[in-house]
Amino acid sequence: MKNIPPAEPFPAARFIKEIGRGKDGARSLSRNDAHDLYAAMLDGRVSDLELGGILLAMRIKGESVEEIAGFLEAAEASFTQISLAADADANAASARQYAPVVIPSYNGARHMANLTPLLAMLLAREGVPVLLHGVLTDPGRVTSAEVFQALGQPICSSIEHAQRCFAKHLPAFMPIDALAPKMARLLAMRRILGVRNSTHTLVKIMQPFVIPALRLSSYTHPEYLAMLTAYFTTTAAAERGDVFLMRGTEGETVANARKAQKIDWLHGGTQTTLVEKQNIADEIPPLPEQRDAVTTASWIQQALAQKELIPKPIAEQVEQCLRVSHALYMQYNESQ
């Protein structure tokens, strides 16, 4: 058995000097520097002391568009990108009419039922390759993974497993540990430091597919709306597909059943509002009485069988996803 030499340490002091001067005194890194720094963090080449300093400094300063672009480029290069080429036989592949839809799920439900799995299942049964990724558990919250397990849906441990789900018109849920283990390690730093870090933003905007995909992304703070809009309208981001950006439902990217959020479509470097914000939905169907996974799963099964139970904001979100996903699929295939 060969001895693997330890990774060469990455000197991070000069980067910390730039970003660690507080909210008003800090300067942002260039895209290249951000890429190199985050790549070293992913590879475990940054010491624990420096890593903690970087994560806290970025938490205080906030990420710039160039930093997010550099971080994300390094992040997406750290794991295997997903291809649809092997996910089905020739007949199924020729019948597919939709680009993949990517749904990050890292918040879960704290006060209301988590209906992200309903959104995913509605899209998947129409033939959309739907990938969800997130955490399996989160203390005090009900995660999408827990709802899927209550539904009897598989949790995918590999890309091949996810591809089989696509072929069966099932949503594929991949834990971040399986999809991007290096990112999962940085995400877990929250348990040590007590606060979120840049990786929590990156997992919500990354695009894991080889081909263009439709990403559903959410924000919780107004400053992130401006930064993410600026990033998603850059050329580099537009080449990876389209994005629906909305204020999160308790952080999740499913429309709020009680009051539809504004949904912006970011495509080709432009921004289009698809859904306007509502104060209260016109009609609110009966929703799950409890937020636990079993109750939520049981209600989702009923909603899948009874169309009238699906909240209008979610039904409209599904309709917009289908329309844009199909257009994105056609655009990509015409360019090949």
- Indicate whether 65 belongs to any domain: yes
Q: Are residues 24 and 160 part of one domain?
A: no
Q: Are residues 279 and 229 part of one domain?
A: yes
Q: Are residues 118 and 146 part of one domain?
A: yes
Q: Are residues 229 and 187 part of one domain?
A: yes
Tens digit of each residue's pLDDT (9 = 90 or more) over 205-254 = 999 999 999 999 999 888 889 999 999 998 788 889 999 999 999 999 99
Q: Are residues 291 and 152 part of one domain?
A: yes
- Indicate whether 287 belongs to any domain: yes
d(CA 185, CA 44): 9
Q: Per-residue pLDDT for 178 more than 60?
A: yes
Q: Which of 24, 42, 35 is nearest to 68 (CA)?
A: 35
- Indicate whether 1 belongs to any domain: no
d(CA 1, CA 27): 46
Q: Are residues 160 and 285 part of one domain?
A: yes
- Indicate whether 6 belongs to any domain: no
Residue finishing a domain among 76, 103, 121: 76
Helices (H), 243-305: 293-305
Q: Are residues 302 and 176 part of one domain?
A: yes
CATH of the domain at 183: 3.40.1030.10
CATH of the domain at 38: 1.20.970.10
The answer to whether 264 and 270 are in contact (CB under 8 A) is no
Q: Are residues 253 and 116 part of one domain?
A: yes
Count CB atoms within 10 A of the CB of residue 41: 28
Q: Are residues 159 and 36 part of one domain?
A: no
Q: Are residues 271 and 135 part of one domain?
A: yes
Tell me which residue range forms the domain holding 211. 90-335
Q: Is the pTM of this model over 0.85?
A: yes
Domain count of the fold of the chain: 2
The answer to whether 254 and 116 are in contact (CB under 8 A) is yes
Confidence of residue 3 (pLDDT cuts 50, 70, 90): low
Q: Are residues 188 and 246 part of one domain?
A: yes
- Indicate whether 85 belongs to any domain: no
Q: Are residues 174 and 52 part of one domain?
A: no
Tens digit of each residue's pLDDT (9 = 90 or more) over 95-135 = 579 999 999 999 999 999 999 999 999 999 999 999 999 99
The answer to whether 61 and 17 are in contact (CB under 8 A) is no
Residue finishing a domain among 31, 54, 76: 76
Q: Which of 286, 84, 259, 79 is nearest to 165 (CA)?
A: 84
Q: Which of 209, 136, 195, 201 is nearest to 166 (CA)?
A: 209
Tens digit of each residue's pLDDT (9 = 90 or more) over 129-162 = 999 999 999 999 999 999 999 999 999 999 999 9
Sign of the dihedral through C-alpha 77, 78, 80, 84: negative
∠ Cα 94 213 30 (to 5°): 150
Q: Is 249 helix (H, G, I), strand (E, B) or coil?
A: strand
